[in-house]
């Protein structure tokens, strides 16, 4: 009897051991050192997302005129690569600022494309007509497609084929799904023990 009461009390006090819900996270790269980064790069801003160049390994953090002289993440080489983002926990929304839609390579008929995947399954896609002014002054966002753990961003032509451009992104903002809390996981056990006590 005493042990059951203590367990229920412990469950009610378990909030002290909860994993805090994870809200919107912004990765702006301002705390990262300038220079070449390996594929699987994780910013100082958040360990919940890693970044990969889909062709080669040409990630760089640097301030450029295209990024309004703010430190941004760049996928170098003018090739049809994509910026890949992998999340350690499922997310429900993602947005980022983008630039370097070089008017010499892309026109306003071109697109910035973002796709979201749950595992290997495509769960959502969105695109934005680029203004082709070669500045980071546009944003692309994706939400309302369910949870996802992988996303890709790239420039594309009118047929949505990747274009030979270097992606420049900043202010990568995502909403992670909270991990189950210790209290939430143990509550059914506490309720079961209380039921047994009444029987």
Phi first, then psi: give them for residue 56, nearest 5 degrees. Answer: 75, -160
Percentage of residues in the chain having pLDDT higher than 70: 78
- Verify that 103 and 153 share a domain, yes or no: yes
Q: Please compute the mean of the pLDDT values over residues 44-55 and round it to a whole number.
A: 97
Q: Please compute the mean of the pLDDT values over residues 10-22 and round it to a whole number.
A: 37
Q: Please compute the mean of the pLDDT values over residues 190-196 and round it to a whole number.
A: 57
Tokens found for residue 72: 């941004």
pLDDT of residue 4: 39
- Verify that 79 and 134 share a domain, yes or no: yes
Quick: pLDDT tens for 154-167. 999 999 999 999 99
- Verify that 7 and 81 share a domain, yes or no: no
- Verify that 114 and 199 share a domain, yes or no: no
Q: Which of 126, 135, 25 is nearest to 70 (CA)?
A: 135
- Verify that 50 and 126 share a domain, yes or no: yes
CATH assignment of the domain containing 132: 2.60.120.1350
Select the more confidently predicted residue: 100 or 32: 32
Tokens found for residue 136: 């980071």
- Verify that 119 and 102 share a domain, yes or no: yes
Helix (H, G, I), strand (E, B), or coil: what is residue 17?
helix
Quick: pLDDT tens for 76-95. 988 999 999 999 999 999 99
Whether the predicted pLDDT of 41 surpasses 50: yes
Are the beta carbons of 173 and 96 closer than 8 angstroms? yes
Are the beta carbons of 99 and 66 closer than 8 angstroms? yes
- Verify that 92 and 161 share a domain, yes or no: yes
Report the C-alpha gap between 88 and 67 in whole angstroms: 27
- Verify that 47 and 119 share a domain, yes or no: yes
Categorize the per-residue pLDDT at 178 as very low, low, confident or very high, splitting at 50, 70 and 90: confident
Categorize the per-residue pLDDT at 6 as very low, low, confident or very high, splitting at 50, 70 and 90: very low
* pTM, entire model: 0.80
pLDDT of residue 191: 54
Residue 36: other Cβ atoms inside 10 A: 12
Domain limits at 119? 23-179
């Amino acid at each position: 009897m005493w042990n059951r009461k203590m367990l229920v009390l412990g469950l009610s006090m378990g909030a002290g051991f909860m994993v805090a819900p994870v809200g919107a996270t912004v990765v702006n790269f301002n705390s990262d050192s300038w220079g070449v980064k390996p594929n699987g790069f994780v910013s100082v801003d958040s360990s919940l997302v890693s970044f990969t160049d889909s062709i080669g390994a040409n990630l760089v953090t640097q301030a450029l005129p295209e990024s309004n002289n703010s430190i941004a993440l760049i996928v170098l080489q003018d090739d049809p690569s994509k910026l890949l983002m992998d999340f350690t926990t499922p997310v429900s929304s993602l947005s980022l600022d983008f630039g370097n839609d070089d008017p010499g390579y892309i026109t306003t008929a071109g697109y910035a494309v973002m796709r979201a995947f749950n595992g290997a399954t495509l769960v959502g896609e969105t695109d934005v007509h680029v203004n082709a002014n070669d500045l980071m002054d546009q944003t692309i966002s994706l939400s309302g497609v369910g949870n996802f753990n992988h996303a890709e961003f790239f420039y594309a032509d009118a047929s949505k084929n990747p274009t030979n451009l270097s992606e420049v992104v900043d202010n990568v903002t995502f909403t992670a799904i909270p991990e189950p809390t210790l209290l939430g996981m143990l509550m059914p056990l506490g309720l079961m023990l209380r039921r047994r006590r009444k029987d």
